[in-house]
Amino acid sequence: QKEVEQNSGPLSVPEGAIASLNCTYSDRGSQSFFWYRQYSGKSPELIMFIYSNGDKEDGRFTAQLNKASQYVSLLIRDSQPSDSATYLCAVKEAGTALIFGKGTTLSVSS
């Protein structure tokens, strides 16, 4: 049974701080890693994807992947109240389904 684990939170950070969201996965064959954001009552939307070990930056967001440790994280710099949402980690192996963690709720206070 493939598992993707996330701390449910809530993670509370003040505006302007760095938010760090973490995710571990059980399947060593996983090849693709995704971070989605879901606002209450809305569908998930993609923030970033990462395939290779190391860091990938996109604006205020940085995804970090460590396949040896089966760990992927998302850093949000200069957090804004509009970043308050649930962040979903998703993991995929070629030819298999995209499996999601239960999500971490982030609250950014102004």
Instruction: Kindly list the residues in this chain that would bind other proteins in the complex (CB under 8 A).
Output: 31-32, 34, 43-46, 49, 51, 88, 90, 92, 94-103
In the bound state with other proteins, the residue whose beta carbon lies nearer, of 83 and 92, is 92
Q: Is the dihedral angle over the CA atoms 28, 106, 82, 19 positive or is it negative?
A: negative
CB of 46 to other proteins, least distance (A): 5
CB of 88 to other proteins, least distance (A): 7
Phi, psi at residue 36, to the nearest 5°? -115, 150
CA distance 67 to 10: 26
CB 59 within 8 A of CB 4: no
CB of 36 to other proteins, least distance (A): 8
In the bound state with other proteins, the residue whose beta carbon lies nearer, of 73 and 103, is 103
Q: In terms of Cα–Cα distance, which of 25, 14, 33 is closest to 74?
A: 33
In the bound state with other proteins, the residue whose beta carbon lies nearer, of 14 and 46, is 46
Segment holding 56, helix H or strand E:
strand 54-58
CB of 71 to other proteins, least distance (A): 19
